[in-house]
Amino acid sequence: MKIYVSEDYKDMSRKAANIVSAHVILNPACVLGLATGSTPIGMYKQLIDWYNKGDLDFSQVKSVNLDEYVGLAPTHDQSYRYFMQTNLFDHVNIDPANTNVPNGLASDPEAECERYNQVIRSMGGIDVQVLGMGHNGHIGFNEPGHAFELETHVVNLTERTIEANARFFASKDEVPKRAITMGIKSIMQARQILVVVSGEDKAEIVKKAFYGPVVPEVPASILQMHANVVLCGDKAPLSKIM
Ligand code: F6R
């Protein structure tokens, strides 16, 4: 694993964006695995900035996102499709047809998972998968205890995740109870994994994930078994491992 320690969030975002740009520059038709959440927002801003300066061209890039809530329309402001449109896709020249987020409105979510697996396969796999990490070590919506060997699948969200997400909805009842997520198996098949972390509150889980035992109770711990992981963080989340 390569670790890049940054002074602060801005610097971390820039380093992470550098890694993603390297893929886009060296392979203009690369497949980017993307994540939502607060951590990669600065990275997306940086990529948009470089695109606006003429340094990046997304016209042939393909993307595949980690996850989406079941039941949310792409136009819902809490859907992950909406997040991607507003934080990246609407601001660069990526072809909308080349962007993939699981369809939260699919009438048959299980069939949607199978379709999504086929999409990833048909693109020849993922060149770099961006991952944020939950405080409990979740990656995508793969919560503690989930099997490592799953591809895209439907998950029931834990009470803790529902509660954590409630602040983004009018009430807790409106928080989706299920999501579609790439599984650990799909994530592990990416040729490179770029983990972004920020904030002191991630220090403990970073230590557990990268230096603790590899166990389903800490989903991100499986990343220790991947041959090409880059961990980008500011000082605080890396404080217990450096
Ligand atoms: C995002 C995702 C989640 C987040 C994780 C960390 O698509 O699947 O696993 O990466 O919850 O979120 P932040 O970055 O908000 O701490």
What string of DSSP letters covers 113-139? HHHHHHHHHHTTS-SEEEE---TT--B
Minimum-distance ligand 1 atom for the alpha carbon of 34: 7
Q: Provide the residue count of the chain.
A: 242
Element (H, E) at 69: strand 67-69
Cβ 216 vs Cβ 147: under 8 Å: yes
**Ligand 1 pocket: which of 9, 66, 152 to mutate (most atoms within 8 A of CB):** 66
pLDDT digits (tens, 9 = 90+) for 127-171: 999 999 999 999 999 999 988 999 999 999 888 788 878 888 998
In the chain (242 residues long), the average pLDDT of successive 10-residue segments reads: 97 98 98 98 98 98 98 96 98 98 98 98 98 95 92 92 86 93 98 98 98 97 98 97 92
Strand 31-34 vs strand 99-100: parallel, antiparallel, or unpaired? Answer: unpaired
Question: pLDDT value at position 201?
Answer: 97
Could you give the 3-state DSSP secondary structure of residue 110?
Answer: helix
Task: Enter the DSSP assignment of 142.
Answer: B
Question: pLDDT value at position 25?
Answer: 98
Roughly how many angstroms between the first and final C-alpha of the chain, as a whole number?
A: 13
Question: pLDDT value at position 42?
Answer: 98
Domains and CATH numbers, the chain: 2-143+151-234 (3.40.50.1360)
Element (H, E) at 164: helix 159-165
For residue 181, which of 90, 224, 96, 120 has the smallest C-alpha distance? 120
Distance in Å, CA 78 to ligand 1 centroid = 13
Question: pLDDT value at position 223?
Answer: 98
Question: pLDDT value at position 126?
Answer: 98
Question: pLDDT value at position 165?
Answer: 82
Question: pLDDT value at position 161?
Answer: 80
Q: Which residue has the tokens 């230096």?
A: 211
